[in-house]
Structure 1
Amino acid sequence: MDLLMSLPIASYFFSSSLTSWSTSLNLLFFYMTWSTLVLSHSPLKIELIATTALRIVFWLVPSLFFLLVDTLLPSLSESIKHNGPRSLPPRDPVALSRLVGLALLNLALSTAAEAGLSSLIALATKRPVFHTATTLPLPWQIAKHLVLLFLLREVFTYLIHRHLLHNPSSPSPLPRRLTALHASHAHSHPGPHALLHNVDHPLPFLLHRFVPLYLPAAALSVLPLPFAVAGGGIHLLTYLLFIALATVESTLAMSGYTVVPGILMGGVTRRTAAHYACRGRGNYGCWGVMDWACGTSVGGSDVVGDVKREADKHRLGEKSEGAMRDGMEGLRRSMRVRSKRAE
């Protein structure tokens, strides 16, 4: 518990003093907290407790809140769900308790899997999986690694989801078995709700939700890559930020709500609902980039269409042209004033 309360991410983002302290003091406080944490706890302990805490805060708590709203106000929820009443969770207490129990079991399983893999990698390489030091990563390094991690997650999720979890006609028995397990657990519900993020048979769950997040980050940290793409390995803070952002994204995507904010998150949520509505015949990726490239988009929209639709909705082209015209007019006025002063 003392480690959880001392996590610098929590103290930085949820401190009430953010409105009064300057940015420099916040960064100093963050650095001091992180340094104390690194010097007083093992890297593996920080990694496991932090990732579990992030999943609890950004998936379990919102999912239970959405579950409460869906069960207490079903008429309101179905009116703002992509699949309508099909996206509502079961109201039977026994069925609902089974879903919650399976979700919590998979949450514990993902922590156990990360503990085992990180321990084995650290034992083999004689160092922690992720770069854990008092030195904080640079903003540009964080941004570069986050983009790379999200791109790799998209590729891994698409390949695993399409070829292992939705491949009933595969000549190999393993994909057929995984497909059956995934269909009987995750796709036993006609529409998504946030709790289903962790509801699946343990084996498909690890392949679908754990491997695309952990494996690319661990590989970039420990493998001798032929190019300096990882820049000396993934920092643990970068990995934790990646876990937090990915968890928030997938929780909102699985909620099934039509009122999800954001230019692209609305499209992600809509494609997730379409994936459940068509019983897994398309929309295998997270963002839809791989589905667009491979032609497996379903539901009448893809990521390119979502971007165009949002651009038209917010009239980004007209706003850009208006801003450019205003800027050019201001520049002309400034030049006329200068020419008059010169005369």
Structure 2
Amino acid sequence: MDVLLSIPILSVLVRPSVSTSVNLLFFYATWSTLVLSHDPISIHATSLLVLRVVFWLAPSLLFLAFDSLVPSLAAGIKFAGKVTRPPRPDRLVGLALLNMILVTLVESVLSYIFYAVTGTTFFRMNTTLPFPWQIFKHHCVLFTSREVITYYLHRMLLHAGGRNPPALTRWHTTFAHGGPTTPLQLYTDHPVPLLLLQLVPVLLPSAVIRPHMITYLFFLGLCTVEATFVTSGYSIVPGVILGGNARRNAAHYASGGRANFGAWGILDWAHGTSKGGDVVEDIRDEADKHNLKERSAAKADDGASILQDGVDALKNGATRRSPRIRSSKGH
């Protein structure tokens, strides 16, 4: 419990400071205390569990409760236009919870084995905080690698075609696509396809470049939040790109897994496997939205210029009439 309460991310969120400098100093002190007082495997395992409970399990259960308690209201903001209730929600929750624990346990065991064999951890675990540019650079590599690995694993192994599909395809089709979609969809899969799809694209590139533990946890937190909203089934997901990912995910399940295999849809666009709009359309929509604002500002400027020209014309006309009035009075 003391490890859980010492996670710096949670400490910053629960007790935010007014000053960014004080906030960063508090984060550094908390992280240093955590690293010096606990072994790296415990920090790794506990952080994984906390991130998934806070950013996936709690919101997903809240979404599921909302769908169950007010289905008529929830149906209006669903991609399918209706709420599909699972026949046995308790069993579904149990499967999702066990799978979440399984993914966390497997990663923790792999981290322990790596540490026992090499004497070092998957990720750099020291009191020095990573630089912002280093975090950005590693995130670019990690998100790009995740997109590539997710697309080809998902398409080639979990949705392999043919008359006799492999066991991975059958398991994934039966568990992930065999029932109604729910907000718990992220972890309601067969354990083996689940590990391939949820663990390998995130852990493999991270183990290769070995970033700082804070960088990895930040990356995992972003992926978890993204997946929670994308698999919620709601059409009001904030952001054009994130909303597009949610729309493509809904189309993936609606099509029976015949399209939209990537996390962001970039390789789907490149390979022509997009359905329900691709990532290029999302970017174009975002650009059009900004261009619309620019056009509105330009029209407002044009209107102000016309108004100013009219005022100047009135002033010039009044100036030209004034000498005539004075000359007529002189006569």
Question: Where on the TM-score scale, by shorter chain, does this alignment land: which range?
Answer: 0.7 to 0.9
Structure 2 residue aligned with 1:5: 5
- The SS at the match of 1:84 is coil
Provide the residue aligned with 1:228 in structure 2: none
Most deviating of 301-310 and 276-285:
301-310
Which residue matches 1:56?
53
| CA RMSD across the alignment | 2.1
Distance 1:89 1:319, change over 3 A: farther
Larger Rg: 2
Aligned match of 1:306:
282
> 1:183 corresponds to which residue?
173
Aligned-partner residue type, residue 231 of structure 2: M
Gaps of at least 5 residues in structure 2 are: 306-331
Distance 2:133 2:234 in 1: 34
Report the 3-state secondary structure (helix = DSSP H, G, I; strand = E; otherwise coil) of the residue aligned with 1:280: coil
1:237-256 deviation digits (Å, cap 9, x = unpaired): 00000111000001100011
2:318 aligned residue: none
- Map of 2:124 onto structure 1: 131
C-alpha deviations, 1:245-285, integer Å up to 9, x for none? 00000110001111111121110000000001100001000
Aligned to 2:316: none
Structure 2 residue 195 is matched with structure 1 residue 195: no
Q: Partners in 1 of 2:141 and 2:293 — Cα distance?
A: 29
Structure 1 position 163 matched with structure 2 position 156: yes
Query: Structure 1 stretch 34-43 or stretch 113-122: which is displaced more?
Result: 113-122
Q: Does 1:82 align with 2:79?
A: yes
Q: CA deviation at 1:314?
A: 4.4
Asked if the contact 1:158/1:285 (under 8 Å) is kept, the reply is yes
Give runs of aligned pairs for residues 1-343 of structure 1, distance below 5 A: 1-15=1-15, 17-18=16-17, 20=18, 22-85=19-82, 88-90=84-86, 92=87, 95-169=88-162, 176-190=166-180, 192-221=181-210, 234-299=211-276, 301-315=277-291, 318=294, 322=298
Give the 3-state SS of the residue equivalent to 1:128 in structure 2: coil
* Count of residues paired in the alignment: 302
- CA distances 1:33-64 after superposition (whole Å, capped 9, x unpaired): 00000000111110110011000000000000
Cα distance, 1:5 vs structure 2: 0.6
The answer to whether the Cα contact below 8 Å between 1:168 and 1:180 also exists between their aligned partners in 2 is no
Counterpart of 1:334 in structure 2 is none
How far is 1:321 from its partner?
Answer: 8.0
2:282 partner letter? D
| Cα distance in structure 2, aligned partners of 1:97 and 1:183 | 21
Q: CA deviation at 1:305?
A: 0.8
What is the SS of the residue equivalent to 1:101? Answer: helix
User: Match of 1:230?
Assistant: none
Q: Is the CA contact 1:311–1:317 (under 8 Å) kept in the aligned structure 2?
A: no
Partner deviation per Cα, 1:276-314 (whole Å, 9 max, x = no partner): 110000100010001011111012x10001111233234
The 1:308–1:317 alpha-carbon spacing in structure 2 relative to 1, beyond 3 Å, is farther
Identity in percent: 51
How many Å separate the matches in 1 of 2:144 and 2:67? 33
SS of equivalent residue, structure 1 residue 264: helix
SS in 2 for 1:82: coil
CA deviation map 1:162-183 (0-9, x unaligned): 001000328xx7x621111001
- The whole-number CA distance in structure 1 between the counterparts of 2:58 and 2:166 is 34
Q: Shift of the alpha carbon at 1:14?
A: 2.6
List structure 1 runs of 4+ shifted beyond 4 angstroms: 319-323
Counterpart residue identity of residue 14, structure 1: V
The one-letter code matched in structure 2 to 1:198 is Y
Name the CA shift for 1:319/1:116 in 2 (closer, same or farther; >3 Å): farther
* Structure 1 residue ranges without an equivalent (≥5): 222-233, 330-343
Deviation at 1:320, TM superposition (A): 10
- After superposition, the Cα gap between the structure-2 partners of 1:248 and 1:89, relative to the gap in structure 1 and judged at 3 Å, is farther
- In structure 2, do the counterparts of structure 1 residues 189 and 84 end up closer, same or farther at CA, with 3 Å as the change threshold? farther
The 2-side partners of 1:215 and 1:182 are apart by 21
**1:312 corresponds to which letter in structure 2?**
D
Q: Name the amino acid aligned to 2:84.
A: L
Q: Structure 2: how far apart are the matches of 1:284 and 1:54? A: 25
Question: One-letter code of the match for 1:308?
Answer: R
Equivalent-residue separation in structure 1 for 2:74 and 2:84 (angstroms):
8
The 1-side partners of 2:100 and 2:70 are apart by 27
TM-score, normalising length: structure 2: 0.86
Rounded to whole Å, the distance in 2 between the matches of 1:30 and 1:209 is: 29
